[in-house]
Amino acid sequence: KLNRLNGLIKRGLGEAGIKLEDRLFRPHLTLGRIKHLKPGNSLKDLIEKYSDADLQVVPVNEIILFESILLHDGPVYKPISKFKI
């Protein structure tokens, strides 16, 4: 469904004369971004705070763990590990 939605959006933007990015669409989920963790706080505590969140079921066949490196002109994503499911 996400790929279909992406196609519809790209087609509409193209028809409107808006320049599109050349890179491939890769559906993803950003679990979080932590620039600095304050002393006394932990990622574990943050995860536990949201452990009862109501989540949707989404079929997945691979998980790729990326490191996000923040640069002046934007983030660079570096694959760290891949997990086939």
Give tens-digit pLDDT for 16-61: 999 888 888 888 777 777 777 677 777 788 788 888 988 888 888 8
Q: What is the pLDDT of residue 27?
A: 80
Residue 26 token pair = 């890769």
Of 36, 40, 32, the closest CA to residue 68 belongs to: 32
Q: What is the pLDDT of residue 16?
A: 92
Q: Quick one: the chain helix, strand, coil %, rounded to 5?
A: 25, 25, 50
Q: Is residue 11 over pLDDT 80?
A: yes
Provide the pLDDT confidence category of residue 85 given band limits of 50, 70 and 90: confident
